[in-house]
Amino acid sequence: MADSAKPKTWQIAVLAAGALALAVSLFLYFTREDKLDLPNRVFLADVTTGEVFEASTEDRPAITPEAHPTTGKLTLVRVRKDDQGKWKVNRTDMSALEEGVDKSAVNGEELVYKSGPSKMELKIPGK
C-alpha cells in the first residue's frame, strides 16, 4: 500500500508541465506591449451649423446630445469620418435631440460640414 501512495514519474511530469505552462502564460500576459488602447477623444458636430468639435473623454464620457460650448444648446451629436472622408452623424444621437431643434446641417446621415474640428472641453452639466 505504501507504493501506491507514491507519485509516479509521469504524474510528476504532468504537474511540472502544468506549472511551467502557467508560469509562461502569466509572464506573457503581464509583459505584453499591445495594451488595450481605447480612444480618449470624440468628435461632435452641431446639427444646426455643421461645425465640428473635438473633445477629450479622459475626464468624463461624452453624453449626447452635448451642449454647444458657445450657445449652451443641446445640439452636438457624435460624428465619424467614413472611408470617403465625409462626416456621418450617429443615428441614435439624432433621435435623442429635442423636438424642434433645427437640424439643417444634417442631410440623412451625412453632416453638411462647415468648419472644424475645433477643440472643446466637455463640461459637467449644471456646473
* Domain extent listing, the chain: 7-31, 41-120
Q: What is the DSSP letter of 8?
A: P
Q: What is the DSSP string of 3-22?
A: HHHSPPHHHHHHHHHHHHHH
Q: What's this model's pTM, rounded to 2 decimal places? A: 0.58
9-37 pLDDT, tens digit per residue, is: 999 999 999 999 999 999 988 887 766 66
73-104 pLDDT, tens digit per residue, is: 888 888 888 888 888 887 787 777 777 777 76
Span 114-122, average pLDDT: 63
What grid cell was written down for 96?
Answer: 435623442
Residue type present at position 102: D
